[in-house]
Structure 1
């Protein structure tokens, strides 16, 4: 039986990645790239880039013109509560803080608004273990 994180990831199709890196050697680039290769729709959120992973980049979550299932966060923990508030504001279904990122306040914001919440887990690892792919 799949664990909670696997179920959250499997339910997502469109993933907004806050902090997707321009540097291919960083996990903040390679992890979203692996999700994209597995069939997920990736929407990069970055303050300066125009295109990443072949996708248009948005400056913030509120600028994304389509529904987002999951917000995947590659930013420091102190930024997580603000990102959680934005995720709630755009109607995302889930908030995911990558491995090494923990925020009690982001959890409170997300869960109070009814979002699924995962922290300190890597989406790529969860995807691989659960063998989650999208058609």
Structure 2
């Protein structure tokens, strides 16, 4: 069952390193503004975008597999149809504790697979909105 309680969301928001799959270089897009907000609020944001060399002055990884740092949370800004493959990539790593899909993005089967592997899942929620509501 995906995470919904405020206490559990707050616990997840205490994580440090967030890999943002689908992070955008374009200001004004949620996939840019939300990770920028998280970066500005002290998170270590790792942009994952195969079409960018760098975002926010940070090197962008081509994929989750290419990220050398440890990842606490994978934040997904890709269409729902791509979530299953992103979950597979996250499950291939031992360090990912949480998979978080942004507002409007969900894949219940992929979420169930991640939960069966011991990962926590947040679906269809904006990380920035939840941070403002519970932490800021």
After TM superposition, give the deviation of residue 34 of structure 1 in Å.
0.2
Cα drift, residue 48 of structure 1: 1.2
Taking structure 1 as the reference length, the TM-score comes to 0.92
* Paired position in structure 1 for 2:22: 19
For 1:41 and 1:86, how far apart are their aligned partners in 2?
A: 20
User: 45, 60, 72: which is aligned to 1:69?
Assistant: 72
- Other structure's SS at 2:128 match: helix
TM-score by length of 2: 0.92
Answering whether residue 12 of structure 2 is matched by residue 8 of structure 1, we say yes
Q: CA deviation at 1:99?
A: 0.5
The answer on whether the counterparts of 2:10 and 2:135 sit within 8 Å (CA) in structure 1 is: no
SS at match of 1:86: helix
Offset of residue 58 of structure 1: 0.4
Alignment of 1:1-135 (within 5 A): 2-10=6-14, 12-91=15-94, 92-132=96-136
Equivalenced residue count is 131
Cα shift at 1:131: 1.8
* Runs of 4+ more than 3 Å apart: none
What SS is found at the alignment partner of 1:44? strand
Whole-Å separation in 2 of the counterparts to 1:49 and 1:24: 14
